Amino acid sequence: KPPGSARVFSGIQPTGVPHLGNYLGALENWVALQNQYPSVLYSIVDLHSITWPQDPDQLRNNILDMAASLLACGIDPQKVILFQQSQVPEHAELCWILGCLTSMPRLRHLPQWKMKTKLKNEGSVGLYTYPVLQAADILLYKSTHVPVGEDQVQHLELAQDLARIFNNSYGELFPEPRALLSSTRKVKSLRNPSAKMSKSDPQTVATITMTDSPDDIALKIRRAVTDFTSEVTFDPETRPGVSNLVMIHAAMAKISVEEALLQARGMDTGAYKGLVTEAVIQRLTPIREEIQRLRTDRVHLEGLLAQGKHRARELAAPVLAEARHRVGFC
C-alpha cells in the first residue's frame, strides 16, 4: 500500500487519439493507479510535442482529442489532476534551473536523442534537452512515483540524478522519484512484429487506433503478419507475430497468456485471429463511442483542462517559488 504522501505523475504527448499500444502500455495502468494512490497527476505534454514541427491547428485538435481519449479510457478528473502542460508555466522555468545543473555529455547518451537524431542526422535544442523538461515535469510536483516503460527508465534516472544534484547544492527539496514499471508487454506492429506499434507507421493496417470501427479492426488483425506454422503458440523470440496476437488477446480479454492459449487450442492462426478480433472489438467499442461523444463538446473538454490547470498550479507554484529562493532569485 502506498504511503499517504505518495504522488504519481505521468505525461502523454498529444498525438491525437491513442493506439492500442498506448492503451495497453500506459493508459490501462493509469486508470488503475488513480484508484491506488492518494495523489495523481496526468499531463498532456504539449511542450514536448513541439520538439518536432507541428501544425498549430492540428496540435490544438490533438490536445482535445487526447483529453477526450483519456476520459473515455476511464481517467476520472475527480480522482486525478488532468491538465495541459503548457498552461502551467512553472514547468518551463524549473526546466531552465535544472538544465543549468545538467551536463551535455549526460544528455548526449540518452536513448531518445541517439534514436531520433539517427533519422535525420540532426535535432533541435529542444529535442536534446527535453529529458530535462521531463525531469522538471516530475520534480515540480515532488512526485514520488512515475509509471514508465523500460525504454524510459534512463530518463527517470536523470530526474533522480537532478533531484540529488539540486538537493546537494541547495538543500533538500525534491524526493527522488521511483519507477512504476508496467507489467504489460510492448504491443508490436501488426505488419512488422519486430517493431513497436506506432502511429507514424507508413502502413495504416499495422496500427489499431482507439477509434477504429469493428470492420477496421477486423481487417487489420486479419492482415496481421504471422508465419507458416498454423498452430497457436507463445514464443516472442521465434514467433513474434503470433505471440503479439496472443499478448493482445490476453490483455484485451483480461486473461493470462496461458488461458489465451487454452482458448486457441485446436485453432489455426487464421481462426485465432477471429478470436483476437472479437476481444479487441468488445473492449474498444465503448471507448470509441465515448471518444466520439466527447469530441462533440469542445467547451466541456476545455473547461476540464482549465480546472486541471488551476489545480496543478496550486501545487506547482509554491515548489517553484522555493526552488527560485534556494538558487537566489528571490
Kindly list the catalytic residues: 116, 196, 199
Task: Report the number of secondary-structure helices (H) and strands (E) in the chain.
Answer: 14, 5
Closest residue by Cα to residue 86 from 137, 23, 157, 142: 137
Q: Which residues pair with 209 in a beta bridge?
A: 19
Distance in angstroms (rounded) separating the CA atoms of residues 71 and 79: 12
Distance in angstroms (rounded) separating the CA atoms of residues 137 and 122: 25
φ, ψ at 88 (rounded to 5°): -120, 90
Question: CA quadruple 114, 115, 120, 126: dihedral positive or negative?
Answer: negative
CB 245 within 8 A of CB 235: no
* ∠ Cα 241 243 247 (to 5°): 120
| CB-facing half-sphere around the CA of 218: CA atoms within 13 A | 8
Long-range contacts of 162-168 (CB under 8 A, 24+ apart): 162/98, 162/101, 162/102, 162/132, 162/135, 163/135, 163/139, 165/101, 166/97, 166/98, 166/101, 166/139, 166/323, 166/326
Label residue 112 left, alpha or beta by phi (over 0 means left) and psi (-120 to 50 means alpha): alpha
Distance in angstroms (rounded) separating the CA atoms of residues 158 and 131: 8
* ∠ Cα 67 70 75 (to 5°): 120
Distance in angstroms (rounded) separating the CA atoms of residues 96 and 92: 6
End-to-end CA distance of the chain: 39
